[in-house]
A = this chain, B = another copy of it.
Amino acid sequence: MEQKKQVKSIPPKADDLSEWYTQVCLRAQLVDYTPVRGCIALRPYGFALWELIQAEFDRRFKATGHSNAYFPLLIPESLLVKEAEHVEGFAPEVAWVTQGGGEELTERLAIRPTSEAIIGTMYSRWIQSHRDLPVLINQWCNVMRWEKATRPFLRTLEFLWQEGHTVHASEAEAAEEVQRMLEIYREVAEDVLALPVIKGRKSENEKFAGAAATYAIEALMPDGKALQAGTSHEFGQNFSKAYDITFTDVDEKVKHAYTTSWGVSWRIIGGLIMAHGDDRGLVLPPAVAPHQVVIVPIVKTGDETVMPAARRLRDELSETARVLLDDREQSPGWKYSEWEMRGVPLRIEIGPRDVAQNSVTVVRRDLQSKTAVPLGEIAARVPALLEEIRRSMYERASAWRAAHTIEAAGHDEFVEALKRQDGFVLAPWCERAECELDIKAETSAVTRVIAGPAQPGQTCAYCGKPARVTAYFARSY
């Protein structure tokens, strides 16, 4: 009864993805709305998920030679405006501090929308010689972009992210760095979060303000829209010229360095909620689930066997997994429903009969499959089960994406496919900015990433001019 009530309150995912998404975010207690427009509170369960995702990225950043640091939240307007394209891209979204300590400030201070301006300024002080390069620094922090419409994780005024900022002596090294970090993003998305992504360069229209080239990973959501889940930018010498980042090279000449930046935000949580969730709520990838296993004891009046067995099981499983024994007073059914809503990968039910038979019932969140497992085997099987869940989630999401990715070569086929709004459309494209704007005006879709060069003789699926590349098109978040 209680279970029914709880499940009933969220709409089926297929009927209303947007309302389903909002309800899951709230009901799983990941986030709550706040009285601050467009800003969410990340509740303990949501933060634990974010901490685990952070740890996966952070470990890989450090393994590839990067260090964390922290730069000021506020950026004086005079610094922000130094790179023309950059300020043009971000100025409309800036929140400005104009008063401090009871006084009007003589210069407005931007709350960082991203930190190229302040980090570039510091780098120009720290770098003198080729011996100081490369500089490989990452920052985990909050940033702010004054958006109109907002949704938890996907688009909020304030959000948490990481921004890597690196400096190199040569263009080739910078280009290598950009690809290295993009590959780390792909690896965490796919191998950890079970979120299949496509990887590639952005078009001129879609690239970061101030970048020479932007690369991204893009995931496909159940409504056929693409979600940009991580970006990695080559800046060439744009920022080193704007912020005077120079070094004396081995040949004794003073040169402008090559810089990059790359970022992933809590938006990727929105991606995994939408990609994996179902009508019962969240389905979390095991590697980042705050509780990987929940043990629900089924205690009958007078029974004294279940709780001791449940506690032993918890202690045993804690060696290899994050386990919660839910010993609250609510009914087992209520707990099943709650932990399904909150996406715990494995549920273990243990009642008096199970104890008597030296067995437990194991329920997989992704498939809702139930298996009886001997008590003596469960500890050994949990790690393999968690890995099996990850693989199965990834395969399911990949199959879905494959079924929603079509190739289109002719104009009508291309336009109709985009208008169906049913996933990625891969097509030869002329790479002209105007053509992309025309496609957007007609279909709401844009390029997501460039897949590769076009075949000789191919023509643009939209405008018919010679094709230079093939590109993935979709509407996007």
Contact = CB atoms under 8 A, between A and B. Distances in A.
A68 B44 contact: yes
Q: Which of A41, A50, A75 has the most CB of B within 10 A?
A: A41
A108 B97 CA distance: 10
Contact of A95 (B100, B125, B147): B100
Contact of A69 (B47, B95, B118, B144): B47
A73 interface: yes
B111 A34 contact: no
Contacts of A198: none
A400 interface: no
A46 B126 CA distance: 15
A101 to B, nearest CB: 4
A5 interface: no
Contacts of A109: 36, 95
A456 interface: no
Given A99-B95, A142-B142, A74 B36 contact: yes
A36 B76 contact: yes
A160 interface: yes
A309 interface: no
Contacts of A50: 70
A72 B42 CA distance: 9
A148 interface: yes
A44 B73 contact: no
Contacts of A42: 69-71
B142 A39 contact: no
A158 interface: yes
A380 interface: no
Interface string A94-129: 111111111000001101000000100110011000
Contact of A48 (B68, B102, B121): B68
Contacts of A98: 96-99
A92 interface: yes
A73 B160 CA distance: 11
A120 to B, nearest CB: 11
A47 B68 contact: yes
Interface in A65-96: 67-76, 79, 91-96
Given A36-B74, A42-B69, A108 B99 contact: yes
B69 A41 contact: yes
A368 to B, nearest CB: 28
Given A41-B122, A74-B39, A101 B69 contact: no
Interface in A23-44: 32, 34-36, 39-44
A242 to B, nearest CB: 14
A141 interface: yes
A16 interface: no
A84 B340 CA distance: 43
A161 interface: no
A51 interface: yes
Interface string A158-182: 1010000000000000000000000
B148 A79 contact: no
Q: Which of A40, A43, A92, A101 has the most CB of B within 10 A?
A: A101
A137 interface: yes
Contacts of A99: 95-96, 98, 108
Contacts of A137: 44
A59 B99 CA distance: 38
Contacts of A96: 97-100
A43 B108 CA distance: 25
Contacts of A48: 67-68
B160 A70 contact: yes
A334 interface: no
Contact of A126 (B32, B71, B101, B147): B32
Given A96-B98, A96-B100, A75 B36 contact: yes
21 contacts: A34-B71, A34-B118, A34-B122, A35-B118, A36-B72, A41-B69, A43-B69, A44-B137, A46-B69, A48-B67, A51-B68, A74-B158, A93-B101, A95-B97, A95-B109, A96-B97, A97-B111, A100-B157, A101-B147, A102-B146, A111-B111
Given A36-B75, A74-B158, A95-B97, 12 more contacts: A36-B109, A36-B118, A39-B73, A40-B72, A70-B160, A72-B158, A74-B144, A95-B109, A96-B97, A98-B99, A99-B108, A100-B157
